[in-house]
Amino acid sequence: MFSNQPLAERMRPVSLDDYVGQEHLAGRESTFRKNIESGNVPSFILWGPPGVGKTTLAQVISTTLERPFYRLSAVHSGVKEVRETIEKARKQQFFNSPNPILFIDEIHRFSKSQQDSLLGAVEQGVITLIGATTENPSFEIISPLLSRCQVYILKPIEITDEMVMHHVQQNLALYDKGGERHYDIISAFIKSVRGSDPNGAVYWLARMVEGGEDPKFIARRLIILAAEDIGLANPNALLLAKSCFDAVNMTGWPESRIILSETAIYLALCPKSNSAYLAIDKAIAMVKETGDLPVPLHLRNAPTRLMKDIGYGKNYKYAHSYPGSFAREQFLPEKLEGNLFYLPGDNSRERETALKLAAMWKGIYPYKTDKKGEPTDKNGETDKD
């Protein structure tokens, strides 16, 4: 009767004792197995690479629990099939009867609306959901559904030394530009540059290069990094990163790897400052907190006589009419007067900026002044320049 079934299907285990591998889940002393044997099974996600037994484990659990088992594939099923299956499960509910199991293979392929359609049934206990995915659930499963499921990781099965060596040799080829490895490696690359380690930066760059990452993606991230992590400590870094992006577009591959390497090393060696990044985020937070505060009258545009008559632009000090092209003025809404969003970073360029601001905006910027009111550095020494 099984002659037409594939060998893998005919050999599929039917109990946890037959299930090979994943000892951390199926082993006799594992919490996961004890929960199954007790019948106390919540909805959960099985995450692991292809071929490690996710579907088999789901079927074994259903057999062990003697529950109705429904299976859908996210590749071929949509919201309609999900709702029909949930309705079937709802009709099978009897007093004190256990929930049917709904197994969804490749659940990461479901859209947000398709995943949303599962929420009510999971919350109400109509079904126990088992999802299988090869992708990191943190990125592919919507938060409301993920928060209602436990996540169990299935590990690759390495049986012989030859298989292990083959797996190690193929690690670079497993770089998935849309998956977790992609995010982990770009994260390591950025953190190496931010951490001023040119060796780490070049290594992780090489991992991306060998993995077939889009050079433009790397160049774009270097632009963001130059603004976020180097910023005003060396404004030329942003210019170089932008030039890198342009050069990568003009040059093509494989020569672009040299341009990316030069830029990554340069940015790693730059002094670091996130003052501009912190400034805009602090200002945005203030805007969200205080809302639509009115523009001070003296800063308002006055294109008509009526606007001028009611005080728009009145008493505005035109900076270029004053010595050094600076006239002390209140440029924030009255309610926010005295707030500081930009604070200079602790690097040579911004220390000079801090002294300049302290001299211009006495009493506003937090640099000390001497007895004559002249700005001093953080050690209390008068700036002689």
Are residues 106 and 185 located together in one domain of the fold? no
pLDDT truncated to tens, each residue of the chain (385 aa)? Answer: 445 666 556 667 777 777 777 788 888 888 888 888 887 788 899 998 888 888 888 888 888 887 888 888 888 878 888 888 888 888 877 666 778 888 998 898 888 888 888 888 888 888 889 999 988 888 888 888 988 888 888 887 685 566 555 545 544 444 555 556 778 889 999 999 999 999 999 999 999 888 888 899 999 999 999 999 999 999 999 999 999 999 998 888 788 999 999 999 999 999 999 999 999 999 999 999 988 888 888 888 888 888 888 888 888 888 898 898 988 888 889 888 888 888 888 888 888 888 888 888 887 876 654 555 454 554 444 444 4
Domain extent for 254: 174-269
| Domain-located, residue 283 | no
| Domain-located, residue 382 | no
Are residues 69 and 117 located together in one domain of the fold? yes
Question: Residues 245, 220: contact at Cβ < 8 Å?
Answer: yes
List, in sequence order, the alpha helices (H) in the chain: 7-10, 23-26, 31-38, 54-65, 79-91, 112-124, 137-140, 143-146, 161-169, 180-194, 198-210, 215-225, 236-251, 256-269, 275-290, 305-309, 348-360
pTM, 2 dp: 0.54
The CATH number assigned to the domain holding 71 equals 3.40.50.300
- The one-character DSSP state at 138 is H
Question: Residues 350, 357: contact at Cβ < 8 Å?
Answer: no
| Domain-located, residue 223 | yes
Q: Which of these three, 244, 269, 294, is where a domain ends?
A: 269
Are residues 15 and 62 located together in one domain of the fold? yes
d(Cα 303, Cα 312) in Å, to the nearest integer? 9
| Domain-located, residue 302 | no
| Domain-located, residue 298 | no
Are residues 117 and 58 located together in one domain of the fold? yes
- The number of distinct structural domains making up the chain is 2
Q: Which of these three, 153, 188, 214, is where a domain ends?
A: 153
Question: Residues 130, 103: contact at Cβ < 8 Å?
Answer: yes
Are residues 108 and 138 located together in one domain of the fold? yes
Class of residue 179 by CB neighbours under 10 A (exposed 0-12, middle 13-18, buried 19+): middle
Q: Which of these three, 269, 288, 306, is where a domain ends?
A: 269
Are residues 32 and 68 located together in one domain of the fold? yes
HSE on the CB side for 102, CA within 13 Å? 29
Are residues 34 and 63 located together in one domain of the fold? yes
Are residues 144 and 12 located together in one domain of the fold? yes
| Domain-located, residue 198 | yes
Are residues 105 and 231 located together in one domain of the fold? no
Are residues 120 and 251 located together in one domain of the fold? no
Are residues 191 and 99 located together in one domain of the fold? no
Per-residue tokens: 58: 């789901």
Are residues 255 and 180 located together in one domain of the fold? yes
Q: How far is CA 279 from CA 37, 238, 292, in A?
A: 55, 17, 19
